[in-house]
Amino acid sequence: MVDSLVFENEVVKEILEKYRAIWAIGHAQALLSWDSETYMPRGGVEERAVARAELSLLAQKLILSPEFTQLVEKAEKVENLNDYERGVVRVLSREIRIMRAIPPRLLAELEKTTQEAMHAWRAAKETDDFNKFKPYLEKIVKLTREKADCLGWKDHPYDALLDLYEEGLTTRDVDNILTPLTSELKSILEKVEAEGRYPRKHPLEDVKYERAWMEAVNSEVLKLLGYPLGERARLDVSAHPFTIEIGLDDVRITTRYEGFDFKRSLLSTVHEFGHATYELQIDPALKYTPIATGVSLGVHEGQSRFWENIVGRSREFVQLVYPVLKKHLPFIEKYTPEDVYLYFNVVRPSLIRTEADEVTYNLHIALRARLEKLMLTGEVKVGDLPELWNNYMEELLGVRPGRHSEGVLQDIHWSMGSIGYFPTYTLGNIVAAQMMYAMEREVGLREKVAKGDFSAIKEWQKNRVHRFGSTYPPKELLKRALGGEYNVEYLLKYLREKYLSH
């Protein structure tokens, strides 16, 4: 079942045949993960945690088996591999290094702890009681620091964790991005507020809707975008919207329905569509291989942020979907397309990251990155996080949470053990802006959105980024696709052009 036109080397072919069992475990793990977030009853958490821990151990055992690692080591010495074959060897060599570094005991303990912690986090958030989550987070931080030490790091333990989500990313990289970005964003925010071109508040934020109305909107917009619902994709509901690739022909997204402020549900759906499109457009010849997935979270986030912000919040997109909104949301007839555009682009310092506007969003990331670094070095205790979170929010955004659910408990990531994940959101915003300028120059992005010609946009993404999966490391892929690595100046240029008068 290995594609001989893409994979020609006999050693790599043998590796991929043996990899099939490891792929199958990952396939099952993805399905179990999706079910945990959507349909699993709460009582199933203990058995699910044990099952996933055992599957993780089984995958580790298979990937570290001498016959498998020896094949990969043999392939590393072959000089005439093509790009796809080199990608397979790079990804597996990296995975073997990581798996060898983490003791099975630690891997199982992290899996079990995070499965339990996710449910504790939900209960803590619902009751606004940080103490329900505190012992789980303390254990996660302890285990994660141990994990970082096992993986190895030079300048900061954060380096080891960042690299797990964004191959090659370091603490220095993150600081070099977030430090100047934070300063510039605060300046842009001040000017936006002074000019008053974009509202701080819009009446549509408080208008209630029936779930059935928004289900119809999301379904029709996804159809307009070309999302293959029912064929290769699903849309479900979860507490925290996400995308999961179970296979190249089975990609699932979720959204949420809060009953008011309909843009939250719509833009979340468009955001997850961006993630799903990446996975759905990977070259089918890579199926069942370790490179048949998005290369990194930063590049992945670039795809979703592009669709949510660059496309979804544009005047052209609002004009295009306005008839859909008017058809299913009775209250929209009171508002013009320009009203809806301004509603989509309200700018104000807010408490919740997922609801933040384009100008302030990355300030939320700067806060989380700062706390994660301090947690890992032990400079901050878990019990101090709520107060520190609130203080940093006030410093960066001028607002202070009144409840833990609006502050330290708002994100699911730490309960999942995903420390080091947050900076990839900012990388995604940068990549989205870089893609926008390249696409506007090469295919006339705005015109394509205005016409609803999303196939041309997706084709550009497919040819430049998506089809390669994880063949190339993130920075190399960006150089090939966009002519350079992460460049914060594109994001700042985009924000200034859109939100400030000239």
Long-range CB contact pairs, 29-36, < 8 A, 24+: 29/55, 29/56, 29/59, 30/244, 30/245, 30/246, 31/246, 33/244, 34/236, 34/244, 34/246, 34/252, 36/115, 36/118
Per DSSP, 65 falls in state -
Q: How far apart are the C-alpha atoms of 113 and 136, rounded to whole Å?
A: 7
pLDDT score of 104: 84
The domains of the chain are located at 10-101, 129-201+274-501
Residue 413 among known ligand-binding residues = no
User: Would you say 364 is a known binding-site residue?
Assistant: no
DSSP 3-state assignment of 268? helix
May I ask the CATH architecture of the domain 129-201+274-501? Orthogonal Bundle (1.10)
The residues that are catalytic are: 272
What SS3 class is residue 78?
coil
Nearest to 138 by CA among 368, 380, 391: 380
For the chain, the distance separating the N- and C-terminal CA atoms, rounded to the nearest angstrom, is 57
pLDDT for 99 equals 87
The residue type at 446: R
Vertex 86: Cα angle to 81 and 91 (nearest 5): 155
Q: What is the pLDDT along the chain (502 residues), one digit of tens a residue?
A: 777 789 999 999 999 999 999 999 999 999 999 999 999 998 998 999 899 989 998 999 999 999 999 999 999 999 999 999 999 999 999 999 998 999 989 988 998 999 899 999 999 999 999 999 999 999 999 999 999 999 999 999 999 999 999 999 999 999 999 999 999 999 999 999 999 999 999 999 999 999 999 999 999 999 999 999 999 999 999 988 999 999 999 999 999 999 999 999 999 999 999 999 999 999 999 999 999 999 999 999 999 999 999 999 999 999 999 999 999 999 999 999 999 999 999 999 999 998 899 999 999 999 999 999 999 999 999 999 999 999 999 999 999 999 999 999 999 999 999 999 999 999 999 999 999 999 999 999 999 999 999 999 999 999 999 999 999 999 999 999 999 989 999 999 999 999 998 6
Tracing tokens 């000019």 back to the chain, one arrives at 195
Q: Is 275 annotated as a binding residue?
A: yes
* Edge-to-edge strand list for the sheet holding 233-237: 233-237, 250-255, 243-247
